[in-house]
Structure 1
Amino acid sequence: MRIGIITGSGTYALAEQEREPTEIATPFGPAQVTVGAFAGAEVLHIARHGDGHARLSSGVTHQANVWALRELGAQAILGVTVCGATDLTVPLGSLIVFDDLHFLANRLPDGSLCTLHTEPGQPGRGHWIFDGPFHPELRTILLDAAREVGHEVRDGGCYGHVDGPRFNTRTEIRQLQQAGVTAVSQTAGPETTLAGEAKIPYALLGYATDYANGVAPDPTPVEELIRLVGESSGTFGRTLAAAVPRLLAHGAPAQNGTHFEWD
């Protein structure tokens, strides 16, 4: 079973993978994928931002990344993201296994529609119909893995996608709070949507590094945010290392939802 892992800010490599990334050609440009062993499985790893955070959130090539994982045979994708909490009951440094998504714009960083179905008559074109956007069985695996490594984790929450690279105003965050958003970051909205279109089960694990603008009486110091981003890498690594064997034992999950296609 091949498992895709997509990491973000602060996590640019997986400990056991010593190979260099391979460039995979896609209709949406090249994707950099590291193929190698991790926690007893063959893992396809993509660092969204590239080595040294070369690409800001506004430059992440989501379509190419998901297309490449599908071409390489990923049967599930585990995504991780550092995020800003919009809910004061979320402790900083804790994990969130999201169960819902706020991504109204459905746009990629360049403003184009977030879809793999870009050409008229393209095979497989259609609509992804789901109850929840994140795969329930993968969610359970991530929750159990976090508990296994002894890290505080929240079961459920709404992930809010916001466009980068700037952070958000207090008014913008208040609007997201009113919509029920638990935490925000700048990359996982397109990733969730495209994985669904690609029929690859996907789940998202968040790590709260700060309280978003206006959420707490006093802003999270930038130094604390940077410290927690640094600590997130080890937490994600341990949690993923516990999740991967569980996923192997579970076997490839069925796709999330259904696809109404026109072929």
Structure 2
Amino acid sequence: MTPAVLGIIGGSGLYDLPGLTDLREERIASPWGEPSDSLRIGYLGRTKIVFLPRHGRGHAIPPSEINYRANIDVMKRAGVTDLVSLSACGSYKAELYPGLFVMVDQFVDRTSRRESSFFGRGCVAHVSFGHPVGPGLQARLVAAAKAEGLAHVKGGTLVTMEGPQFSTLAESLTYKALGYDLIGMTAMPEAKLAREAEITYATVGMVTDFDCWHEEHGAVDVAAVVAVLHGNAEKARRLVARLAADFPAEREPCPAGSHHALDMAIVTAPEHRDKALLAKLDAVAGRVLGRAGQSD
């Protein structure tokens, strides 16, 4: 069996994860470039934790310039099996108010400037992505939120925009009319890359504002968002601590198939695979490439 390792990607306002024991910092090299920061690796109880601040400590990296491929690659190299994304989000529904945590289960990708796959010319792969969030991991997050008495909702659709600007009113009204629940700037392509790396993924949408559709609240501004971020960050740390306390020692099979997402996904014949790309895929796809004969 594979030991379970819980990865945490901290979004805006969450640049550290206090309370880790046997803590060490490690900067893992990735063939995909530089990740957002060094990894903080330690334990919460018996659960091994790997923490990465998505924007880097000090929030130096904007959403479109995050190296999502390097971030997921180093998580994989660190042994992460289950990955929780903690993300600040705007809300399209009055009942999804600032301070609420939404355990997202669907995404809509409206980004356009980001590398969204590890695969490409020389090694083509198509993974199943109909259910992008691991149901088991989501259920554990819901149970942790209940145990901590944190206001939360199970399920929701998060649309990811390019940014870094907030939405126009027309965009906000359009997404609201389409029935989406939340908007953010970082879930994509993070979730897609996690699936390609066979890491079970889940997002906690930490609501900070009502975007700009709400007549009583008006346009989004950084000052208002930051005020909510501080409270959300403390609740996020409690959520992670509770999640870790009850986390299994061994990786559980994912009902969405994330633990074997690459089975039958690679369609390029071995004799036509690009060796340089295969070398970069050693961590992400080594399980299936090794079995198929990477050096063919």
The reply to whether TM is greater than 0.5 is yes
| Contact persistence 1:145–1:242 (CA under 8 A) | yes
Shift of 1:104: 4.5
Shift of 1:55: 1.0
| Contact persistence 1:14–1:38 (CA under 8 A) | no
**Given the alignment, which residue of 59, 71, 76 partners 1:65?**
71
Matched, 1:13 2:16: yes
- 1:128 alignment partner, SS class: coil
Shift of 1:112: 4.4
Query: TM-score, normalised to structure 2's length?
Result: 0.80
Length, aligned pairs only: 255
Q: Distance in 1 between the 2:114 and 2:9 partners?
A: 22
**Given the alignment, which residue of 83, 86, 96 partners 1:80?**
86
Structure 1: 5+ residue runs without aligned partners? none
Q: Find the counterpart in structure 1 of residue 55 from structure 2.
A: 49
* Within-5 A mapping of 1:6-155: 6-17=9-20, 19=23, 21-31=25-35, 32-105=38-111, 107=112, 111-121=113-123, 125-155=124-154
Q: Which amino acid aligns with 1:23?
A: R
Q: Distance in 1 between the 2:119 and 2:226 partners?
A: 38
Q: Distance in 2 between the 1:160 and 1:231 partners?
A: 23
Q: Distance in 1 between the 2:24 and 2:60 partners?
A: 16
Distance 1:226 1:12, change over 3 A: same
Q: Distance in 1 between the 2:183 and 2:85 partners?
A: 14
Q: Distance in 1 between the 2:127 and 2:46 partners?
A: 32
Runs of 4+ off more than 6 Å: none
Q: Find the counterpart in structure 2 of residue 240 from structure 1.
A: 240
| Contact persistence 2:72–2:194 (CA under 8 A) | yes
Over the matched positions of the two proteins, sequence identity in percent amounts to: 25
Query: TM-score, normalised to structure 1's length?
Result: 0.90
Q: Find the counterpart in structure 1 of residue 287 from structure 2.
A: none
Larger radius of gyration: 2
| Contact persistence 1:76–1:253 (CA under 8 A) | no
Shift of 1:42: 1.3
Q: Distance in 2 between the 1:161 and 1:223 partners?
A: 21
RMSD across aligned C-alpha pairs, in angstroms?
Answer: 1.9
| Deviates most, 56-65 or 136-145 | 56-65
